[in-house]
Amino acid sequence: MAQATAQYDASSLVHLEGLEPVRKRPGMYIGGVGPAGLHHLIWEILDNSIDEAMNGHATEVRVTLHEDGSTVTVEDNGRGIPVDRHPKTGKPGVEMAFCELHAGGKFEGKNYATSGGLHGVGASVVNALSTKLTVVVKRDNFAWRMDFERGKPVTKLLKSKDPVRGTGTTVTFHPDPQIFPKIIFDAATIRSRIEVASFIHKGIKLSFDDQQSKTKEQFHHPDGIAEFLDKLTKDKGTRPVTEGIAKFEKVEGVEKFECVFRWTESTEEVMRSFVNGIPTPEGGTHEIGMRAAMLKALRNYIETHNLTPRGIKIEPQDAREGVFGLISCFIREPQFQGQTKEKLNNPEVQPFVENALRPLFEQWLNANGTSANAIIARIIAAARARQASREASDAVSRKTATSGRLTLPGKLSDCINAGKAGTELFIVEGDSAGGTGKMGRDRIHQAILPLRGKVPNTEESGLKKVLENKEYCDLVTALGCGIGSNFDPAKLRYERIVLLADADSDGHHITTLLLTFFYRHLKELITAGKIYIAMPPLYRIVIGKDTFWAADDDDKKAILAKHPGKKDETTRFKGLGEMDPKVLWETTLNPKTRRMLRVEIDDAIACDRVINELMGKDPSARFRFIMDRAEEAEEVDLM
């Protein structure tokens, strides 16, 4: 029998007024309340200032991260937000901009030819999600100030007593802890965004004042995205296959258009796209058009010059391997996917970019024969490597094609419910740790796969070479989902893959090697949230009748600090293999008491750069890393 429900009529409908919808559902406006959503508040205000500069009304934009790490100021020398009263509402323009959703000067296209913000939402959203926000406008020879708290004005628009020089807008805000669980801005993230903006808007001066580290930087790149392409190449630690770059700009029908290409020795494709200065990390129709133009131009060049290799079929992914490309276009009516503007949806942009860019790229290829032939040679090499990798992954597939436990690695201690929800594969180092894990695990849901010694570094290894290693081959077989072109997430045999290594430096190194393998060859498992890192204890601390587990030295110090003057008996585990199976279960395997980290990628570009610097062949980046942090090391294990 159905339960009685409350009466549902017109009185049940809730009407949220003003900025209440933003505070009620902030994720709809900034994508979430985590670090990305928190920093999105800065981007909204910063983009407004850049819009002023983009349309010729400002030359400088300054961002300040205050010493508390949670207050930000964005200042420009633009025209200043209007301060006169709106003819319909009677409210000052500043109040309209910061207190009314969909109130802005970018709808008609009269004040801004192009802009990143279009819906009049950004400033008011930031205001709604801040405990305090202050706006200072220099306009009409005076300074005007207005203060807000959680989206509501707490002062009137106040005019300065004395005249001031210049024009512009300054916004200072502090996010609301009632909305955001953690309010600490990351200086590196802010700096990166400002630096990227300086490349896209060449000629504009942007500066960042980090009052926490007492550093000030100014960014000014007159060569625009061509300089940006050089930076990306250096950050990736790779070398270009040609000296010059393919650069295109001034396409008819677009306010501003820039596009650059370069092929490198890297095994990945790096594409960055922007619309009206806004990064579009998920791409969109402009990026699709750019890729299509590139592929068709290359295909036509190969066919025209009869460069197709015998026995090798060139696929689109071969042309994209190693290419670094940037596209920045400014259009009057961009249609973004959501308020966070991560993807462009204008359907007319794709064919326009493709049709405009393809002939320009073909002309460049024909006019630069040496560079063009080097690019084609790079593409053919990628096709041959892909074919070799396919053959290697096919060999793995043949080994696992005959379903059943007989095809699984002999050292795998599988779980009873393999292939079902709630199952976990623990990857451990060595037979000793594998034996302890096998005895201490939950046999129904937990499988153990021991690896012999440290696995090879796969940062710059092709798939064929990777699968020649027995440990990696056994791991792929145990996972069951295949690899490379044969990857099928539906065939994954476990819900979680857990990296379980010793809690010392050697264990951390093994974990890093495995993370590199998954990032380069099974990245889909990371993005799907399948990869975890176990947190076994390094110390057992007995104080009186109580037992504590410390993950590292800092954890040990914190535990001992909480029990001053008390005698302790501290044991340092040499490895998982010497743990009692019951202890391993209680501290590391038991879902109710263990600690685990899920591997996530917050910033794909930064993540790729870190892995390349730490695991790549070039030692210079690691040398700089060590020298920059040498003073931070309290102890160095040289044994």
Give the Cα separation of 150 and 20 in Å (integer).
Answer: 10
Residue 161: burial class (beta carbons within 10 Å; 0-12, 13-18, 19+): exposed
Q: Are 390 and 312 in contact (CB under 8 A)?
A: no
Q: From CA 245, how far away is CA 225, in angstroms rounded?
A: 11
Q: Which amino acid is at 296?
A: K
Structure token digits, residue 406: 């007989």
Strands 158-159 and 168-175, bridge-based pairing: unpaired
Burial group, residue 632, by CB count within 10 angstroms (0-12, 13-18, 19+): exposed
CB 434 within 8 A of CB 413: yes
Structure tokens at 81: 């937000």
Question: All domains of the chain, ordered by start, with CATH?
Answer: 20-219 (3.30.565.10), 225-386 (3.30.230.10), 402-536+581-601 (3.40.50.670), 539-572 (no CATH)
Please, how many CA atoms are within 13 Å of residue 247, restricted to the half-sphere of its CB?
Answer: 11
Whether 285 and 350 have beta carbons less than 8 Å apart is answered as yes
Distance CA 288, CA 273 (A): 10
Residue at 373: amino acid letter: N
Question: Helix or strand or coil: residue 313?
Answer: coil
Q: Write down the pLDDT at residue 426.
A: 95
How high is the pLDDT of residue 453?
77
Are β-strands 531-534 and 596-598 bridged in parallel, bridged antiparallel, or unpaired? antiparallel
**Residue 515's pLDDT is what?**
93
Assess contact for 377 and 308: CB atoms under 8 A.
Answer: no
Q: How far is CA 217 from the centre of its chain?
A: 23
* pLDDT < 70 positions in the chain: 1-18, 102-121, 250-255, 338-340, 389, 391-407, 604-605, 621, 625, 628-639
Distance in Å from the first CA to the final CA of the chain = 72
pLDDT of residue 17: 52
Strands 278-279 and 424-429: unpaired
DSSP 3-state of 150 = coil
Q: How far apart are CA 129 and CA 23, in angstroms?
A: 6
**52 near 58, Cβ under 8 Å?**
yes
Residue 173 token pair: 């805000």
Q: Which residues are known to be catalytic?
A: 429, 502, 504, 506
Residue 361: alpha-carbon gap to chain centroid: 30
Residue type, 551: A
**Confidence (pLDDT) at 375:** 92
The b-or-e profile of 83-113 (16+ CB within 10 A means b, else e) is: beeeeeeebbbbbbbbbbbebbbbeeeebbe
Query: Nearest-CA neighbor of 409 among 438, 444, 451?
Result: 451
Tell me the sheet residues that pair with 449. 427
* pTM for the predicted model, two decimal places: 0.61
